[in-house]
């Protein structure tokens, strides 16, 4: 048994299995992948990694795994440590790109667990890689501890991200939540005594999205990164699967050593000379369904670029999915019945409606092209003329 100090949870105890998994290259790579991608361009303290987050998830999982048998406890604790090994460089900045080309999400890690040092450790402890992979995806009822509507993954990253960014939205009573979570008919449900703690988690998540996770600077930098990597895959022979072996440093070296567009993006990211917002507005600006363009974004970028007289690589269209809070599917036990959390709490029901106000479409381009790209984008999307956007002088 070894004890390490963590700024969020104070002391974390690691048993022999955890220590053996931590020492594998697959897990050590997480030390070199930032949890929040490029958010440190907004919040200088946001340099924490997937590694320390994984330790936090492991620590929180230990309390909840007491509800299952000893063998499943070991599986779930291993799953907690390994749940993020499928992330690429800069975390979510390359996630969609990897999924697009490999057809696998970051939580589909079965292939990674069946070979190498991790597979050896699991074999030594008589643990099944395929079972652990299913727990990570939340496909088993015990796996809901790690991957469900209210899980230890969310409990850790919301508090940890708030701590390192310095925002005041991380007041979550995870001790109370863990105490009130239990299995009922193979569903992980919340006791009514944990409802206020769950409300706090949901409020924190709601506020963190526009201020941290979807801050326009972070979103621009991540979009630039994604486009540069996509360019290398399409034009320079970069194999998408290699991204799962890279960390932030090796990925940036690939960009810097490239030619043309990716190298220019690397220089801009290094020097924080980011693209600017040519268009940045919400659902209220459109008469038609703006989300229909998500399936053909490359074509949209090319058309806007052509109309603006700009090279297509230098127009980035960012259309996020319609906002949804998966935690709304959580169930609360009230008078012996499982009740949807938005039915049990008027505050949660209000958040469900208010989240649409945080959604923004973005069209990003270098500062020198902002006026003409903005004009072309507004014409393409038929933006209402009476809707005020940000001033073009804003940073």
Is 49 part of a structural domain of the chain? yes
Contacts of 278 (CB under 8 A, 6+ apart): 363, 364, 365, 369, 370, 371, 373, 374, 377
Which domain, by its residues, includes 95? 2-166
Mean pLDDT of all residues belonging to the chain? 93
- Give the pLDDT confidence of 21-48 residue by residue, as tens digits: 999 999 999 999 999 999 999 999 999 9
201/354 Cα distance (integer angstroms): 16
Question: pLDDT value at position 327?
Answer: 80
Among 28-32, 70-74, 90-94, 107-111, the range with the most confident prediction by mean pLDDT is: 28-32
Share of residues in the chain with pLDDT > 70 (%):
97
CATH of the domain at 29: 1.10.3210.10
Is 30 part of a structural domain of the chain? yes
Is 229 part of a structural domain of the chain? no
Is 114 part of a structural domain of the chain? yes
Residue 2 clears pLDDT 70, i.e. is over it: yes
Is 209 part of a structural domain of the chain? no
Is 72 part of a structural domain of the chain? yes
- Using 50, 70 and 90 to split pLDDT, how confident is the model at 170? low
Contacts of 237 (CB under 8 A, 6+ apart): none
- Give the pLDDT confidence of 120-133 residue by residue, as tens digits: 999 999 999 999 99
342/340 Cα distance (integer angstroms): 6
- Using 50, 70 and 90 to split pLDDT, how confident is the model at 179? very high
114-145 per-residue burial string, b: 16 or more CB within 10 A, e: under 16: eeeebbebbeeeebbbebbbbbbbbebbbbbb
Is 293 part of a structural domain of the chain? no
Question: What sign for the dihedral angle of Cα 96, 101, 103, 108?
Answer: negative
Residue 20 clears pLDDT 90, i.e. is over it: yes
Least confident of 75-89, 316-330, 353-367: 316-330
340/352 Cα distance (integer angstroms): 13
Contacts of 70 (CB under 8 A, 6+ apart): none
Number of folded domains in the chain?
Answer: 1
pTM of the full structure: 0.93
Is 292 part of a structural domain of the chain? no
Measuring CA to CA, which residue among 277, 313, 286 is closest to residue 298?
313
Least confident of 166-170, 240-244, 310-314: 166-170
Residue with tokens 């269209």: 317
């Amino acid at each position: 048994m070894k004890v390490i100090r963590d700024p969020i949870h104070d002391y974390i105890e690691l048993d022999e299995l955890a220590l053996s998994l931590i020492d594998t290259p697959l897990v050590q790579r997480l030390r070199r992948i930032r949890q929040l991608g490029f958010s440190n361009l907004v919040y200088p303290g946001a340099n924490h990694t997937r590694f320390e987050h994984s330790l936090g998830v492991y620590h929180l999982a230990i309390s909840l795994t007491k509800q299952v048998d000893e063998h499943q406890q070991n599986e779930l604790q291993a799953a907690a440590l390994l749940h993020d090994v499928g992330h690429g460089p800069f975390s979510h900045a390359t996630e969609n790109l990897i999924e697009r080309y490999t057809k696998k999400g970051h939580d589909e890690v079965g292939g990674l667990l069946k070979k190498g040092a991790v597979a050896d450790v699991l074999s030594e402890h008589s643990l099944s890689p395929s079972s652990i992979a299913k727990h990570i995806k939340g496909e088993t009822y015990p796996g809901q501890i790690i991957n469900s509507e209210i899980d230890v993954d969310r409990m850790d990253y919301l508090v940890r991200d708030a701590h390192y960014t310095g925002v005041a939205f991380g007041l979550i009573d995870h001790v109370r939540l863990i105490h009130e979570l239990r299995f009922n008919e193979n569903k992980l449900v919340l006791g009514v005594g944990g409802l206020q703690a769950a409300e706090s988690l949901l409020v924190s998540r709601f506020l963190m999205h526009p201020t941290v996770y979807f801050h326009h600077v972070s979103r621009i930098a991540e979009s630039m990164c994604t486009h540069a990597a996509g360019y290398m895959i399409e034009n320079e022979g970069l194999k998408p699967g290699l991204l799962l072996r890279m960390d932030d440093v090796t990925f940036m070296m690939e960009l810097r050593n490239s030619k043309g567009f990716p190298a220019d993006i690397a220089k801009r990211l290094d020097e924080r000379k980011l693209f600017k917002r040519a268009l940045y507005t919400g659902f209220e600006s459109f008469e038609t369904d703006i989300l229909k363009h998500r399936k053909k974004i490359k074509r949209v970028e090319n058309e806007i670029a052509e109309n603006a007289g700009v090279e297509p690589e230098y127009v980035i269209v960012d259309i996020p999915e319609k906002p949804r809070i998966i935690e709304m599917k959580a169930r609360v036990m009230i008078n012996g019945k499982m009740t949807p959390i938005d039915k049990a709490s008027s505050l949660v029901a209000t958040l469900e409606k208010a989240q649409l106000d945080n959604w923004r479409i973005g069209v990003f381009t270098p500062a020198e092209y902002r006026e003409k790209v903005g004009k072309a984008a507004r014409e393409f999307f038929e933006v209402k003329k009476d809707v005020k956007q940000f001033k073009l002088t804003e940073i």
